[in-house]
Amino acid sequence: MCNLFVNTLISNRLTDEVFYNRNDVHYHGRRLNHKHKDMYRLRFNLGRGDNYQKWQVKNMVSGNVTYFDPASFTIMANGVRLVNSKNTAAKIHQGANKTVCAYVLCNSLAAVNKGTFSEIGRGEQLSYNPKVRPHWAGADGSDIDDQSYDRVITTDRRIFIAL
């Protein structure tokens, strides 16, 4: 179970459900006035180590980071914007070593046991691989950098627009 003390964390120990909500953010029991519209950063971690190939969630106010194994968890993010550093992505596309250059910013998210969101339809699959394309891509390969969506959902290592 994730040990987070920043933001409202509702934890159900039977199902390991974890919910984050930007509308009720606390730090050590004090309510925070925050300037960030987007409170969380979601990305797929490809860095070596124990958290290789896990979803990384970073609280943008506190800096706390939590990892979720895609084999065990599904993540639903709300109020989403796709972010990409175009210059860094272009360098990677031309052959430079990979580094973090893209992520999903969101207002709130929920990480729950796999299968919990099975009733939510999955729409278009989104993808990001700067070695293939230096931008976020829709199913047709079109550039969707900086696009906003109401909700996205992860399934294993993939990310979809939630219907």
Along the 163 residues of the chain, how does pLDDT read in single tens digits?
232 322 333 333 233 445 555 444 333 333 344 444 558 999 999 988 999 999 999 999 889 999 999 999 999 999 999 999 999 999 999 999 989 999 999 999 998 888 776 667 788 999 999 999 999 999 999 999 999 999 999 989 999 999 8
Residue 12's pLDDT is what? 30
Cα dist from 81 to 21, 69, 74, 107, 162, whole Å:
16, 22, 18, 9, 14
- What is the rounded distance in angstroms from the CA atom of residue 124 to the CA atom of residue 101? 22
pLDDT in the model for residue 61: 87
What are the sequence ranges of the domains in the chain? 10-162
End-to-end CA distance of the chain: 29
State the pLDDT at residue 163: 84
Residue 38: per-residue pLDDT: 57
Q: What's the rounded Cα separation, in Å, for the pair 66 and 35?
A: 22
Q: Which of 69, 70, 68, 77 is nearest to 162 (CA)?
A: 77
Contact status, residue 102 vs residue 129, Cβ threshold 8 Å = no
